[in-house]
Amino acid sequence: MANGKIKPIAALAVAFFCAAAFAIDASDSYRSPRNPERPIRRTTELIVLHTTEAAARGSLRKLSERGECHYCVTEEGGIYRIVDRDREAFHAGRSMWNGKEDVDKFSIGIECVGYHDKAMSLVQLYAIRDLVKELKSMYHLSDDKVVCHSHVAYGAPNKWHSKKHRGRKQCGMLFAMPSVRKVLDLKSRVAYDPDTKAKRLVVGDPYLAKVLYGKVDTMRGTYGAGNIANVAPTSSGKGGIMSWLGFGKNGTSVSASPPPPSSSKNSRPAAATVKRATAAKNRASKSSKPSPVPASIAQLKKQGYILKGFVSPQNTASKIAGARWNKPDTYYTIRNKVIPGSVINPAKIEKGMGIWMKR
């Protein structure tokens, strides 16, 4: 350094080191076309783990189309980038943590192919572990900032619960269990629910509360130390998780991205198959670019849209629009704004919104 300035070569070295230090090896073949529409996230306070409750291919298509998470990790340990990690992804829905609503604004969402009450393969868990470790380092987060969707989701008053309540989702709850967190190399977890403690919410699912904060661990028999010792893959080299994720023995990248989901859990598709799948996905992404959004209600009417109804506690978006509530040709209007259904944040659907659809 001379006169307080970093020499060009040194600056390049620093930039290279920083990029190499945080090199998440993820595929862009399911990157969401919604990326340009999503605002940059101002802060990152949580990593929220989800379970898809469905198989890989359908989940990846849905997540990509709607931009519903930042990353998706498949059963085979493949990592897919859906929404850029510094943008908002609409993954948490109606949510609150420590008094702050709309968790999408301050969290990263990772969807994990699988189910909230079923064990996952070690290959998948180790891929999740490595991804979470990278993200924790990037955003300087402690282990207890890695939570499940079920930690942050909450429900509005309804005929079963007279108050706002925790327990709307059991999504991702296995990631709160001590035996699973040990595999993920997470040494601590959230000790209590700050929102039920402060009486902002009530407990709506006592069993879920015991899983998240108590001693219920249905995965202990699967992931106890004696049960995984003989099946855990090595940390590097042939057959190990780092090799599967595309890294050599010294942590150097040896492949651009993990393969698309395969029908076989034990085999990787041939290079030609991966190339064809990637090309097909890229064509689909180009063809599915969102149309220009009508600028006003007058333009909606001119294009043949009609008002189907207004959102209210009794007349929800799904009642008005059915399965098309979040499609790109369904529009929401409020305070002179027109919002496509494909980009609407479910947590932001409010009373008085008009829903417009084609005849």
Q: What is the pLDDT of residues 146-159, one digit of tens each?
A: 999 999 999 999 88
Number of domains in the chain: 2
> Same domain, yes or no, for 92 and 215?
yes
pLDDT in tens, 138-197: 999 999 999 999 999 999 998 888 899 999 999 999 999 999 999 999 999 999 999 999
Handedness of CA 49, 52, 260, 343 (dihedral sign): negative
Q: What is the mean pLDDT of residues 65-71?
A: 94
Please tell me whether residues 97 and 135 are part of one structural domain.
yes
- Other CB atoms within a 10 A radius of the CB of residue 27 amount to 23
pLDDT score for 228? 56
200 in the same domain as 150 = yes
Residues 28 and 138 in one domain: yes
Backbone angle region of 229, left / alpha / beta, with phi > 0 → left and psi within -120 to 50 → alpha? alpha
Domain-located, residue 10: no
Domain for residue 137, yes or no? yes
Residues sharing a CB contact under 8 Å with residue 314, sequence separation 6 or more, in sequence order: none
Q: Are residues 137 and 206 in the same domain?
A: yes
118 with 234, same domain: the answer is yes
CA dihedral 232, 236, 237, 240 (to 10 degrees): 30
In a domain, 8, yes or no: no
- Is residue 278 domain-shared with residue 301, that is, in the same domain? no
Containing domain of residue 343, as a range?
Answer: 297-358
Q: For the domain that residue 79 is a member of, what is the CATH number? A: 3.40.80.10
Please indicate, yes or no, whether residues 194 and 308 belong to a single structural domain of this protein: no
Whether the full predicted model's pTM is greater than 0.75, yes or no, is: no
Give dist(CA 64, CA 159) in Å, integer: 34
